[in-house]
A and B are shown apart, each in its own frame.
Chain A
Amino acid sequence: MSNIAGKAYAINVITPLRWYLAWVNKIIFWVALKFPQYLKGLITLSLIHYARWVIIGRKQFPHLHPDQPKEDLKYGYMLFFSNFNGSWDQYIDSFTFSIPGGLDLFWKWSVRYPHSVALTPFHDYIRYNQVETNHYYSAYPLATSNDVKAARKLKAMLIDFDNKWHDAPDAEFQKHYNKLLLGLQHDLGDMRPTPIVSMAAAAVDKRRVRDLRKAAQHTVAAMEEM
Chain B
Amino acid sequence: MGSNVSGKAYALTILSPIKNAYVAGVACADTVRDQLENWNLLQNSPMARVPQTYLARLFVLDDVFTQSLPGAGALDTVSDFLPAVPDGIRRAALPTPDHLKSKYLVFSIDFHGELEPYLRGMWQAIAPEIQSVWQHCYGFDAVSDAEDFVAYMKKCQLTAALFFVGSNDDPLGEQLKALYLKQEFSRFALESQGLPTAELKKRYQEFIARVKPTDLTGPAWTPGQYALLKHSDARQEAAL
Give chain A's interface residues, CB within 8 Å of chain B.
1-2, 5-6, 8, 10, 12, 14, 16, 18, 21, 25-27, 29-30, 32-33, 39, 42-43, 46-56, 60-65, 67-75, 77-79, 81, 83, 108, 111-115, 121, 124-125, 128-129, 131-143, 145, 147-152, 154-155, 158-159, 162, 166, 170-171, 173-174, 177, 181, 184, 187-193, 205-206, 208-209, 211-212
CA–CA, A136 and B230, complex, Å:
18
Task: Tally A-B pairs: CB < 8 A.
Answer: 335
Q: Is A188 within 8 A of B17, CB to CB?
A: no
CB-defined contacts of A64 to chain B, threshold 8 Å: 16-17, 137-139, 152, 155-156
Given A2-B40, A112-B76, 7 further pairs, Cβ under 8 A: A5-B55, A112-B71, A142-B179, A181-B189, A193-B229, A193-B230, A208-B41
Q: Is A140 within 8 A of B176, CB to CB?
A: yes
Q: Which residue from B76, B172, B228 sits with its C-beta under 8 Å from A139?
A: B172
CB-defined contacts of A55 to chain B, threshold 8 Å: 2, 161
Q: Is A60 within 8 A of B158, CB to CB?
A: yes
Q: Is B208 within 8 A of A162, CB to CB?
A: yes
Q: Which residue from A52, A71, A74, A209 sits with its C-beta under 8 Å from B233?
A: A209
Mostly helix, strand, loop or mixed at chain B's interface? mixed
Bitwise, B166-194 to A at CB < 8 A (1) or not (0) is 11101010111111011101110110000
CB-defined contacts of A170 to chain B, threshold 8 Å: 197-198, 201
CB-defined contacts of B225 to chain A, threshold 8 Å: 140-142
Q: How far is the CB of A183 from chain B (nearest CB, A)?
A: 12
**12 A-B pairs in the complex with CB atoms less than 8 angstroms apart:** A42-B164, A50-B11, A54-B2, A55-B2, A60-B158, A68-B17, A108-B73, A140-B176, A148-B168, A148-B175, A148-B179, A212-B41
CA–CA, A128 and B54, complex, Å:
28
Q: How far is the CB of B134 from chain A (nearest CB, A)?
A: 11
Residue of A nearest to B96 (CB): A74
Given the contacts A68-B138, A112-B67, A152 and B41 also touching, CB distance less than 8 Å: no
6 smallest CB-CB distances across A and B, nearest first, come from: A48-B166, A112-B71, A64-B139, A151-B178, A29-B162, A65-B138
Q: Is B163 an interface residue (CB 8 A)?
A: yes
Q: Is B37 within 8 A of A135, CB to CB?
A: yes
Residue of B nearest to A81 (CB): B108
Q: Is A139 within 8 A of B177, CB to CB?
A: no
Q: Is A10 within 8 A of B57, CB to CB?
A: yes
Q: Is A52 within 8 A of B185, CB to CB?
A: no
CA–CA, A54 and B110, complex, Å:
14
Q: Is B135 an interface residue (CB 8 A)?
A: no
Q: How far is the CB of B89 from chain A (nearest CB, A)?
A: 16
Q: Is A140 within 8 A of B221, CB to CB?
A: yes
Give chain B's interface residues, CB within 8 Å of chain A.
1-3, 9, 11, 13, 15-17, 19-20, 33, 36-37, 39-41, 43, 45, 47-48, 53-61, 64-65, 67-73, 75-76, 95-96, 98-102, 104, 106, 108, 110, 137-139, 152, 155-168, 170, 172, 174-179, 181-183, 185-187, 189-190, 197-198, 200-201, 204-205, 208, 213-214, 221, 223-231, 233, 240
CA–CA, A132 and B61, complex, Å:
9
Q: How far is the CB of A127 from chain B (nearest CB, A)?
A: 10
CA–CA, A72 and B101, complex, Å:
8
Q: How far is the CB of A38 from chain B (nearest CB, A)?
A: 11
CA–CA, A125 and B69, complex, Å:
7
Q: Which residue from A6, A52, A149, A166 sits with its C-beta under 8 Å from B205?
A: A166
CA–CA, A159 and B213, complex, Å:
7
CA–CA, A159 and B56, complex, Å:
30
